[in-house]
Every structure is written in C-alpha cells, then in structure tokens.
Structure 1
Amino acid sequence: MKLILIAALAGVLTAPLGGAASAEITTYPVKDRKLTTNPLYETGRLPSTTCAEKPVKRNDRKKARAYFDAVIDCLGTTWEQHLTAAGLPYEKVKVRHMTRIPKKYCGLDVGKEDSQALYCSDNGTIIVQMGREWLSEPDDLWLFDMAAYAYAYHVQELVGIGPAFQKLPYGKKAELQEQIRRTNLQADCLAAAFVKSVWPLEGRTTKDWDHLVDLLDSVGEKESYGKPATIRHWVRRGFSTADPGSCNTWSVSHTEVA
C-alpha cells in the first residue's frame, strides 16, 4: 500500500460553522492563495537531468535503502536547482531508515503496514520503513516513485503549501478528507513531474512506467488518496508536463479530486 503521512495533519484546525454556513455543503472551494496561486506554479518545467538507479535485489533491505537514498539525492539536485532559480526557499531533506517506525512518531498515528514512508514537517525528515511488501519485488519503479512522492511533501513544506494546509479550516469530515486528497494528489503529480524530468531512465521503457501507473489501483483509502482513476489522472498529468504548474490540485473542481 502506498502510504505517506504528513506529520502536520494532526495540527489541522477546525473552524466552527454558523448560520448559513452550516447548511449542507457539497463542494468545498479553497480560498487560501498560498494554496491556489502558490509561486511554485509559475516556476516552469523542471530541469532535465539524469538519475542512475542503484542495483536492487529481492529481500535485500540494505540495497533497497541505498537505492532509495540515491533517488533522494537526485531529487535534491533537481529541486534545489529548480526552486533556487525561481527565488524560492530550499533546504536539504533528511532521510532516516527504521526497521519499525514507533507509534505516534512525530505526532502521527503510524499504521501497521510493513512498508511505509512518512514525512515529518517538524524536522524535514523522510522516515522509511521497508518490509516484505516493498522488498519482495523491488525491481519495478515503485521505490523510485515512493522516494519522489515522499519528497513532494518536502517541496510542499518549503514553498508554504504544507503550512497553509495545516491552517486550512474545515467544517465537516468530508471537507477535511477532500483537503487531504488535494494534498496527496498534488504529491502524486509532483512525483510524476520529477520522473519525467529524468526520463528516460537507463534500462527502462514505457512499459515500466505503464506498470507503475497500473499499480496505483491499490494505493490505499480512497477517502484520503482519491479513486484510482483520479490518481492516475494526476500522475499522468505530471508526467506529461514535468511542470509543477500542472499540479495545482487546490484550484480545481471537487470532481477532479474525488
């Protein structure tokens, strides 16, 4: 299961509704300009670079961790160049591998999945737990995409999207779930934009990419991550452009983040 949790999620504030606002709501437009018109969307296409994949072997955690870390290094090269060129802040992400992530780590309700990654906004760290699920078939693009997906939350934090999301008020649970989907789907799109910026990867073909997209049918709870068709839409959108501007999930209709 694809599981990236945002440490700041627990800090989302609830705003009480009153009067007409308490009526039944079917759409939840976002008005915070830090989300809808963030400067990230005007930065243009990511720079074209290369990213060499390290060798991996089935059930070899050491090699898988080295693979993941190498992809993170590629991500740092790309995003540092892209953000600093646009005058946006950049800080290097930290990565910490754990055999088992403790419950409530960084204020999160850590799941029981044997393989997962979390982004802790408190200290800019990606925490990775690699178990049987990720190690049994490590030779596809799943680990590559997981690294890019986790890093996308770091980018959101750097440019102010993460903090703005934390402060975004909501009324009903359905509204909060839609906000979470907008965040997660944007991460999907930004991850795919990075993959396109280093594509083609040596030894990979479009079949590898198509296989990854097919794997997105089983990414987790639809309430938090969106329907498979919605996820594929944003992934393909990011991959088609390599442009963060195409990943503005905060301005689109609720139907595009269902």
Structure 2
Amino acid sequence: MKLLMLAALTGALMMPLAGTATAQAAAYPVKSSQLTANPLYNAGALPTTTCTEPSLEPNNRKQARAYLDAVIACLETTWERHLTNAGITYRPVKVQHMDRIPKKWCGYDIGKLNSQTWYCDRTETLVFQLGKDWLDEPDDLWLFTTAAAVYGYHVQKLVGIAKAYDKLPYDKKTELHEQQRRMNLQNECFAAAFTKSVWPIEGRNLSDWNKLVRLRQSDDPAEVREFGGRASVSYWLKRGFTTGDPGSCNTWAAPSSKVA
C-alpha cells in the first residue's frame, strides 16, 4: 500500500473556483491575510510547459531517483517562471536522496516507513527515501504527484504562507489539526495544478489521473487528522487539476467541511 509521509518543518507541525466560502464559514476561522489573500492567488494559472517522464522500472532505486530529479527540474521551471512573473523572489530547492533518513533529520522525529519524503523549511531542502512501497509498482503517477506535492512546501515558504502558518494561533488540538490539513491539502492542490500545466503528459491519459486521485492517501480516522479525509483530498486534487491555477488552492478561506 502506498502511504504518504510528507511534511514541512514548521513550528506548528512540530509538537479560487467561484463560490468558495470564506474563512468566516469555518469552525476555526483563519485570520491572516497572508494565508487567505496571498498574492499568489491572483497570479493566474501556471504557465503551460511540458514534462517528460524518464523510464522507470519496478524496484530500480537509481532510476526512481533520476525520475524524481527530472520532475523536480520541471517543477523548478514552472514555478520559477510563475513566481518571477508575479514579482515574487524565487530560490531553487535543494534535493537529497537517502537510503535511510536520519531519525532527527532537520529536527524531525523520522519514522520507520520504508518510503517517505520531507521538506526542511530551514534549509529549503527536499529529502526522499525510496523503498518497496513506492518502487514496486512505479507505473502510475504516484511519484510524479508526490514530488509535486512536497515541492509545494517550498512554494509556501517562498510566498510567505509557511511563515504566516507558523504564527497562526490555535486554542486546541482540533484547531491545530485543521490548520495542518489546510497546509497539506493546499499542496495536494498545488500538485494537481502543476500536473494540469504539463498535461497531456506523453504516454498518459485521464484514466492515469483518475487512478492517481483514488490512490492518494487520506487520514486514518483513528489517527491524528493531518492530511484530510478521502473526500477532501479528492476535492482539492480535482480542483487544482480542473483549473491549473494555484489561486484555486486557497484552502485557508475554505469552510471546515472542505478540509475535514
């Protein structure tokens, strides 16, 4: 089973299509204009480019790392152009590949999942650990969208969303977890918007995308709710892919029902 261990190192994590409801409709309204009205939302759709997927055989870690590097290069091309055109300072992300991520990498408590990826806000670095979960059946869009989603944390850092999120107050854990879901679901939407910006991808069709939407991880209701339920994940993926516009990824102004 493909599980997604994907997060950004921020203080809180340590411990528009028309008609989107405003934050006032949320159980825990987000009172930060840097989050709810970020300039990124008015920058328009991502530029249309191409992104060719390298060959990728099952359980070939070397090929998978090269694949991820190629996808990251596509992401850099797209987001650099988009942010620069919007007058936002761009910096490239750093990428590391490790057989095993150290337990305290970047201050995290790294778990034992055989496949995981993290973003270190402090050093602006992505790290990937590839195991059987992600390498057994690599013919879907899982690695592609996983790279695009974790890259979203870098985008959030560059546009000031991560900093504003760090400063966001909360009174109880349920409010914190909703804030975490807003952060993570926004990156799912960013990943979908990027995928749309390079679509069609050679050798892919909409059945590949629809399969991916079904694959993406949702929270286990019995565990801490940090990523969102299946309906919320599906909603933001479909939203981003429909528009190709990061402006449709304003999870911070969405009602609680859309980030549940």
SS at structure 2 position matched to 1:146:
helix
CA contact (8 A) 1:145 1:191 kept: yes
Partner AA of 2:211 in structure 1:
H
8 Å contact from structure 1 (residues 3, 219) kept in 2: no
CA distance in 2, matches of 1:53, 1:208: 13
Query: 2: CA distance between counterparts of 1:250 and 1:219?
Result: 19
Residues 94/61 of structure 1: CA separation in 2 closer, same or farther (3 Å cut): same
Task: Check conservation: 1:10, 1:108, Cα contact below 8 A.
Answer: no
2:251 aligned partner, one-letter code: T
1:256 maps to amino acid:
K
Tell me how far apart the structure 2 counterparts of residues 141 and 11 of structure 1 sit (CA, whole Å). Answer: 27
Q: Which amino acid aligns with 2:198?
A: V
Deviation for aligned residue 1:219? 3.9
Structure 2 Cα separation of the partners of residues 9 and 220 of structure 1? 21
Alignment of 1:1-258 (within 5 A): 1-9=3-11, 27-216=27-216, 218-221=217-220, 223-258=225-260
Question: 1:112 Cα shift?
Answer: 1.6
**Contact 2:219/2:229 (CA < 8 Å) preserved in 1?**
no
TM-superposed deviation, 1:10: 5.2
SS in structure 1 at match of 2:226: helix
Q: Determine which structure has the larger helix proportion and give its number.
A: 1
- Give the Cα–Cα distance (whole angstroms) in 1 for the partners of residues 163 and 14 of structure 2: 9
Structure 1 unaligned blocks of 5 or more:
14-25
Q: Tell me, yes or no, if the aligned pair for 1:189 and 1:234 is still in contact at 8 Å.
A: yes
8 Å contact 1:12–1:166 — kept in the other structure? Answer: no
Post-superposition shift, 1:107? Answer: 1.1
Partner-residue secondary structure (3-state), 2:252: coil
Measured at CA, do residues 107 and 10 of structure 1 come closer, stay the same or move farther in structure 2, by a change above 3 Å?
Answer: farther
Deviation at 1:212, TM superposition (A): 0.4
TM-score, normalising length: structure 1: 0.92
SS at match of 1:119: strand
The residue type paired with residue 121 of structure 1 is D
**Closer/same/farther in 2, CA of residues 239 and 138 from structure 1, 3 Å limit:** same
Question: In the TM superposition, what whole-angstrom CA distance separates every residue of 1:156-193 from its partner, at most 9, and x where no partner exists?
Answer: 00000011111111110000000000000000000000
TM-score, with structure 2 as normaliser? 0.91
One-letter code aligned to 1:158: L
CA distance in 2, matches of 1:219, 1:30: 23
Indicate the percent of aligned positions where both proteins have the same amino acid: 55
Corresponding residue pairs, total: 245
**Structure 2 residue matching 1:8: 3-state secondary structure:** coil
Name the amino acid aligned to 2:34.
K
SS in 2 for 1:96: strand
Give the conservation status (yes or no) of the 8 Å contact 2:35–2:252: yes
The CA distance in 2 between the partners of 1:117 and 1:165, in whole Å, is 20
- Taking the aligned partners of 1:77 and 1:147, their CA distance within structure 2 comes to 14
Contact 2:115 2:130 in 1 (8 A): yes
Measure how far apart 1:7 and its partner are.
1.0
The aligned amino acid for 2:124 is G
Checking the alignment, whether the CA contact within 8 Å between 1:83 and 1:89 is kept in structure 2 is: yes
Distance 1:221 1:167 in 2: 27
Whether the 8 Å contact between 1:12 and 1:168 is mirrored in structure 2 is: no
**Deviation digits for residues 25-50 of structure 1 (CA, Å, limit 9, x no counterpart):** x8110001110100000000000000
Which residue identity is paired with 1:185? L
From the superposition, tell whether residues 239 and 30 of structure 1 become closer, same or farther in structure 2 (CA, over 3 Å). same
